[in-house]
Structure formats: C-alpha cells, structure tokens
Structure 1
C-alpha cells in the first residue's frame, strides 16, 4: 500500500468517525430535549399543587 492510499484510507475513516459522532451528538441532544421537557412538565405540576 502506498502512502497516498494509506492517507486516503485514513481520511475515509475520519469521515466515518465524524458521521458517527454527529449521530451520537444528535441522539444526545434529542434525549436532553426530552428530559428537559419532562422536567418542565414536572415543574408546572408542582407549581399547580402549591397554588
């Protein structure tokens, strides 16, 4: 394998890893938003109970 081929292989690996990380970040962002929404709902319920 030539150096140029190896560089191309590594670049492809980096691109794949970037895509995977974007998927992970997206999933975590979605989960965070869902948790935040649930916490907001809980806060509203607690406020209603105190009122």
Structure 2
C-alpha cells in the first residue's frame, strides 16, 4: 500500500509526536470481557459461513 504524500507525512508526524509524548492505553474492559466478546464473534462467523 502506498500512501499519498499528505497522509504519509501526517502519519509520520503522529508517530514522532507519540514517541516524544507517549501515553498508556486505557483499557475499558477486563480481559475476561474481551475474550468473551472474541468468542461470541468467532461463534457467529463460524456458524454462518458454510
């Protein structure tokens, strides 16, 4: 994938800013909730594609 110059520059600028001022990710759900959500998604996609 090739980015056009403006989005590529914006992305590189964002990365540079992030490394200068990193912030931790604030998880909103517990690991168990995330894993259950993934399991529900897997069941849904596995059941409907045949």
TM-score (norm 2): 0.40
Structure ID, larger Rg: 1
- Of Structure 1 and Structure 2, the greater helix share is in 1
TM-score (norm 1): 0.39
